[in-house]
A and B are shown apart, each in its own frame.
Chain A
Amino acid sequence: MTDTAWIDLALVSARPQAVGALLRYFRNLDTAEEAFQEACIRALKTWPKSGPPRDPAAWLIFVGRNSGIDKVRRQSRETALPPEEMLSDLEDQESNLADRLDGSQYRDDILRLLFVCSNPALPATQQIALALRIVSGLSVKQIARAFLVSEAAMEQRITRAKSRVAAAGLAFETPDVADRADRLAAVATMIYLVFNEGYSAMNGPESVSADLCEEAIRLGRLLLELFPAEPEIMGLTALMTIQHSRARARFDADGAVILLEDQDRGLWNRPLIDEALALIDRAMRHRQPGAYQIQAAIAALHARAERPEDTDWAQIDLLYQALERLQPSPVITLNRAVAVSKRDGPEAALAMIEPLAGKLSGYFYFHGLSGHLLKQLGKVREARVAFDHAIALATNAAECAYIRMQLDKLDEEPGVEDAVVKKR
């Protein structure tokens, strides 16, 4: 590690706590962010000489708060506070502050900061952009690259999100139990949005979108540290961790998607999987099933199977049934159909998804799965129609490439119908 790399790491890991506390002091996102920036600049000057402070977050909050107040005073032409060299050397003041900010206050600060970004009034894309900018501290340029939009467009998106948040008003009172649960649920949704944005845009393990997945996992772990007894947060973190453990196996050299059953399981990240399995094990002890826990349990069954044929499809079917009961959705039924096709064959699965055609006619995966099942049944022409629908609905290059590969395979192997036609 270079000399200043440890400072960068310390600043990154202290950021949510520090910005969250500064937001509480200043009650304004921009002021809180500027105060944190100022504190970081001072840290970069001071820490190489003085070494890391005992509690970097407390140091940044203390210095950031003073610089913010300092600025407000300068603007109103009042006397400035003493220079920060005096303040930052006062170990006592720093530790007093750390003592005053007990665990629960830190916890609500961070939750508030995350909650500000999860405001349901914001469209998903704005929630994600705001969280990456404010909580994770990614630059506008980095976020723009991850979203494949111009920097100016992203700047505008974030500004718009901020003014919406300001207009909605920030909640600064300490949340009660019910409020806290609501905030937690909204934040969990936002974190999973961040993850999915990265996951679906990825076209290789090194792509910029992978950073979004890693950020989301980091936020999940942060939430878990703050709320260690929430089984759904364990489930969410486990789910993202298992999905991300396959990053190296999900794509071929051209960036085309490799399906779960065709992946080289040796490329899965075992330490990540083990950590997720430990989390699921802990979550199950609470006996409060939830959507994230069930999805994590399904992902875990895949992760536990050494070979695709070892997968416990019957158990996966049961888990999807539980998920359907919890949040009925044709997409979940579609996913269950995959498990059913493995256990009972393509015919049974096709019968299950046919009634979904109306609701899912605009959904890429519906046509992809239909094509796949039809192909297995030897109905080549119908499969081709389904894959043609799918390719028209693909939202990224990896999806397109995958369907094109399926179409190429259809060309190679004439199915039952074509064979019959040829005979005549």
Chain B
Amino acid sequence: MLYAVFCYNNENVTSEWSKEQDDKVMRDLAAVQSKYAEAGKLGPVARLMPTTTATTLRHTHSETIVTDGPFAETKEQLLGFYVVDCASMDEALEFARDLSSANPAAGSYEIRPLAIYKPSELAS
């Protein structure tokens, strides 16, 4: 079984880390990651940029609305995610728009640039 693990933390606190503190956390996490990567168990790893870089596309039955900022509702649940290589936020929004029109259910797509991306190490 493949599992996705989502990391939650208080961004206001983590953004206060000095570069040295941040580097150390990243090194310590990389050590854990490589243990699983070497065993062929680790899929793609991503670190998101801060929520201040986010844009959200909300798809209702009648219209699609794009707003600045992260997804803020609490009544919907996270169901899945994509990593897509786009030249700009506009292109990424186009992708989200395509997804939303293919999906009969109303829902939201938060689009956030990645700060770090490591491809999958999963054994095929």
Residues of B within 8 A of A228 (CB): 52, 54, 67-70
Q: Does B79 make an interface contact (CB < 8 A)?
A: no
- The digit string for B41-69, where 1 denotes a CB below 8 A from any CB of A, is 00000000111111100000000000111
Q: Which of A256-264, A275-283, A401-409 contacts B (4 or more CB under 8 A)?
A: A275-283
Q: Does B12 make an interface contact (CB < 8 A)?
A: yes
Q: Which of A1, A9, A228, A271 has the most CB of B within 10 A?
A: A228
Q: Does B10 make an interface contact (CB < 8 A)?
A: yes
Number of B interface residues at 8 Å Cβ cutoff, please give it: 24
Interchain CB contact (< 8 A) of B50 among A10, A13, A221, A285 = A221
With contacts A228-B69, A271-B115, A285-B89 taken as known, whether A279 is within 8 angstroms of B53 at the C-beta atoms is yes
With contacts A274-B113, A274-B115 taken as known, whether A282 is within 8 angstroms of B53 at the C-beta atoms is yes
- The digit string for A8-44, where 1 denotes a CB below 8 A from any CB of B, is 0110111000000000000000000000000000000
Q: Does A295 make an interface contact (CB < 8 A)?
A: no
Establish whether residues A229 and B21, one from each chain, have CB atoms under 8 Å apart when the complex forms: no
Residues of A within 8 A of B21 (CB): 1
Residues of A within 8 A of B17 (CB): 9
User: In the complex, how many angstroms separate the beta carbon of B124 from the nearest chain A beta carbon?
Assistant: 31
User: In the complex, how many angstroms separate the beta carbon of A216 from the nearest chain B beta carbon?
Assistant: 14
User: In the complex, how many angstroms separate the beta carbon of B2 from the nearest chain A beta carbon?
Assistant: 29
Establish whether residues A282 and B49, one from each chain, have CB atoms under 8 Å apart when the complex forms: no
A221 to B12, CA, bound (A): 10
Residues of A within 8 A of B15 (CB): 13, 218, 221
Q: Does A293 make an interface contact (CB < 8 A)?
A: no
Interchain CB contact (< 8 A) of B52 among A1, A237, A269, A274 = A237
Q: Does B88 make an interface contact (CB < 8 A)?
A: yes
A224 to B89, CA, bound (A): 17
Establish whether residues A274 and B68, one from each chain, have CB atoms under 8 Å apart when the complex forms: no
User: In the complex, how many angstroms separate the beta carbon of A302 from the nearest chain B beta carbon?
Assistant: 19
Tell me which residues from 56 to 102 in chain B have a Cβ below 8 Å from any Cβ of chain A. Answer: 67-70, 88-90
A225 to B16, CA, bound (A): 15
Q: Does B4 make an interface contact (CB < 8 A)?
A: no
Q: Does B39 make an interface contact (CB < 8 A)?
A: no
Residues of B within 8 A of A6 (CB): 13
A225 to B72, CA, bound (A): 12
Establish whether residues A225 and B52, one from each chain, have CB atoms under 8 Å apart when the complex forms: yes
Residues of A within 8 A of B88 (CB): 281
Residues of B within 8 A of A229 (CB): 67-69
Q: Which of B12, B67, B115 has the most CB of A within 10 A?
A: B12
Tell me which residues from 1 to 17 in chain B have a Cβ below 8 Å from any Cβ of chain A. Answer: 10, 12-13, 15-17
Interface residues of B, dominant DSSP: mixed
Establish whether residues A13 and B89, one from each chain, have CB atoms under 8 Å apart when the complex forms: no
Q: Nearest chain-A residue to B116 (Cβ)?
A: A271
Interchain CB contact (< 8 A) of B49 among A10, A14, A275 = A275
Interchain CB contact (< 8 A) of A282 among B10, B19, B89 = B89
With contacts A10-B13, A285-B90 taken as known, whether A279 is within 8 angstroms of B69 at the C-beta atoms is no
Interchain CB contact (< 8 A) of A13 among B13, B52, B54 = B13
Q: Nearest chain-B residue to A57 (Cβ)?
A: B12
Q: Nearest chain-B residue to A10 (Cβ)?
A: B13
User: In the complex, how many angstroms separate the beta carbon of B92 from the nearest chain A beta carbon?
Assistant: 10
Interchain CB contact (< 8 A) of A279 among B12, B16, B52, B70 = B52
Establish whether residues A225 and B68, one from each chain, have CB atoms under 8 Å apart when the complex forms: no
Q: Nearest chain-A residue to B93 (Cβ)?
A: A285
Establish whether residues A278 and B49, one from each chain, have CB atoms under 8 Å apart when the complex forms: yes
Establish whether residues B52 and A221, one from each chain, have CB atoms under 8 Å apart when the complex forms: yes
With contacts A1-B21, A9-B16, A13-B10 taken as known, whether A275 is within 8 angstroms of B69 at the C-beta atoms is no
With contacts A225-B52, A271-B115 taken as known, whether A278 is within 8 angstroms of B89 at the C-beta atoms is yes
Residues of A within 8 A of B54 (CB): 228
Residues of A within 8 A of B16 (CB): 9, 12-13, 218
User: In the complex, how many angstroms separate the beta carbon of B114 from the nearest chain A beta carbon?
Assistant: 9
A208 to B75, CA, bound (A): 45
With contacts A1-B21, A9-B16, A13-B16 taken as known, whether A278 is within 8 angstroms of B67 at the C-beta atoms is no
- The digit string for A145-162, where 1 denotes a CB below 8 A from any CB of B, is 000000000000000000
Residues of A within 8 A of B52 (CB): 221, 224-225, 228, 237, 279
With contacts A1-B21, A9-B16 taken as known, whether A278 is within 8 angstroms of B10 at the C-beta atoms is no
A279 to B12, CA, bound (A): 18
Residues of B within 8 A of A285 (CB): 55, 89-90
User: In the complex, how many angstroms separate the beta carbon of A368 from the nearest chain B beta carbon?
Assistant: 31
- Write 7 A-B pairs (CB below 8 A) sorted by A numbering: A1-B21, A6-B13, A13-B10, A218-B15, A228-B69, A237-B52, A285-B55
Going nearest first, the 3 A-B pairs with the smallest beta carbon separation are A228-B69, A13-B12, A229-B68
Q: A6-B13, A278-B89, A282-B55 are in contact. List 18 more A-B contacts (CB 8 A).
A: A9-B17, A10-B13, A12-B16, A13-B10, A13-B13, A221-B52, A225-B51, A225-B52, A228-B54, A228-B67, A229-B67, A229-B68, A269-B19, A274-B113, A279-B53, A281-B89, A282-B53, A285-B90
